[in-house]
Amino acid sequence: SMIDLRYQIIPDPFNIMILAMGVLHRIIISAQLGMFSSVMDNFLGLIISGSIFLLLATISKGGMGGGDVKLIAVLGFILGLRRSLLNMFLSFILGAIISIFLLLFKIKDRKDAIPFGPFICLAFMITLFWGDMIMDWYLGIL
């Protein structure tokens, strides 16, 4: 996310490395637990989150970059479908809150680009550590 902040790019080798580590982790965990069916959930997380962001990147005409699409897809694989949906939601919430702050205090102008990768990464960390608790809390208030 520091690279995205400075250069507004998320390098493909970075995404490939994260995906490789995620696949390796999933293979090891699945072999230990004998739960190879859960791998489908990981692929659904990748496909659904990647597709949603690809659609947004297409609609926004450059407002969101291909690196963001690849990053959210790779993290979707790691998180699985359910938690990847939370990750996307939190990414947008964090992005909105921080962007409003930056605009209100005139740190950024409306025409300035605000990289989205850091919000995706921060949301990923929140989802990774507290995602199940957040979803249980939210579903409990419905």
pLDDT digits (tens, 9 = 90+) for 87-119: 999 999 999 999 999 999 999 998 898 999 999
Could you identify the residue written with the tokens 């250069």? 7
Q: What Å distances lie between residue 125 and 3, 86, 98, 106, 140, CA to CA?
A: 17, 11, 17, 28, 22
Host domain of residue 120: 2-141
pLDDT digits (tens, 9 = 90+) for 12-50: 999 999 999 999 988 888 888 777 667 889 999 999 999
Tally of structural domains, the chain: 1
Q: Cα separation of 136 and 19, whole Å?
A: 27
pTM, 2 dp: 0.92
Kindly report the CA angle at 138 between 82 and 87, in degrees rounded to 5? 40
Q: What is the mean pLDDT of residues 74-98?
A: 97
Q: Which amino acid is at 122?
A: L
